[in-house]
Structure 1
Amino acid sequence: MAATQVIRSEWTKIRSVQSTVWTLGLAVLVTLALGALISVLSKNEFSKMSATDRATFDPTFISFAGMGLGQLAMIVFGVLVVSNEYSTGMIRTSLAAVPQRGTFLFSKIAVATALALLVGLVTSFATFFLGQALLGEHRAALGDPGVTRAVIGGGLYMALIAMFSMGVAAILRSPMLSLGILMPFFFLISNILGNVDATKQVGQYLPDQAGSKIMQVVARPDDDTPYGPWGGLAIMAAWVVAALVAGYLSIKRRDA
């Protein structure tokens, strides 16, 4: 089967499965809702902040406060895209139709990534404009230094999270096992490792800790991270490549 036919087939699969569509919608909704809430709270608390906190106030990053929760929906999307066929047994039919396993896997990932990137960019721009509107006089403008990079980076970050999840799902095959590892890792373990002094030097190189740097515009005085926004995104991209390569090797070497 030609690559274009495989891509068309994967697009049909994704849009015909309601769970994947709903998870993308949920990613948009929770990111917007939480970002709006934190923006309102930050505006109300601004007058009570210390001089240092006011000087390092990052209105752009504040509006992205919902990304941490929205990324969990992106993780679910990435896992379901790859592992649904294993849980239903349809993987045998798919591999019989497309024996070239690399073509099969990367066509699936390409379609899902394009969709995740589109949703991620729409979400990032929407949450930025909503957040800035709610921040009032404390808002940032899209043309301010570093802001456009941060907003576009937010969309890239969500797409990379989805891709990383696809790679892990290709390795583990089971949606429950994949989610059982990824959800607590990103929601709990990564935050602990990245914020505790004893483990911070390791935690700052984890995919979400490094990748989220792209969404920051104002650096804090105590921020000693040894990389910048694009460096952090590059570290995250390296994690994604490693996960996808491992996923490809797994699907190539193991039986369906």
Structure 2
Amino acid sequence: MTQTSFGPQLSARGLTRRYGPFLAVDDVDLDLAAGDRHALIGPNGAGKSTLLNLLAGTIRPTAGQVVLAGRDITRTRPVRRARLGLSRTFQTPAVLESLTALDNLVVAAWRHTGTHTAWRPARRRTLAARGLHRLDEVGLGDHAHTPARELSHGQRRLLEIAGALTANPAVLLLDEPAAGLADHDLTLLLDALRRLPAQTAVLLVEHNQDVVTTLAHTVTVLHHGRVLATGTPHAIHTHPAVAEVYLGTPHGTG
């Protein structure tokens, strides 16, 4: 998908994270335009989750810049980034296990508004109605009143994604959304991600190549914290350097 005339929704320039002598992320440039479906792949330890955390604001960069919709957010806290239109999920689903699925979404929606308004019944009913719609979208409508701790791992994953969507984000960062999912839950996940608003830019870190091929328009490969290659899923699959470092196939074979 081509970039809009308004520039990227999210961009990184020279993004670097150093831990002593170790460069976890090394001078990475990345652009996400409205509607992009962009996958970030690479071997374990390549820097994928660190890059996602830098974009989300969970950790601060050693160098470089992050810009969201034209605004420099390099030093902006994660909560503020969420209110500006950037949502994310984690490798381990982050849900409030003592609350029902629906109440998880009500709390998420309330937090995203940034309001200090009292917890009024009318406001809760409005947010609950929206939450029920979100649960239906991810296939959890029948579990609205089920405590999150009683949901399967895959269902908690879907619930977390629904919570991230309550803010109607311009950019959604997904950290290994398919990790640990059974086939049924994976089908629900793919269906939910296909139904994302067309204008939402999505960056997902993912090891499941079927998910990458199904969802992504563009794939970026990280290796030792640096961008090794960026292209379509087909171009990346046939890229000789990617085959050598990521797929374990030497140049000139297969």
More helix by share: 1
When normalised by structure 1's length, the TM-score is 0.25
Report the TM-score when normalising by structure 2. Answer: 0.26
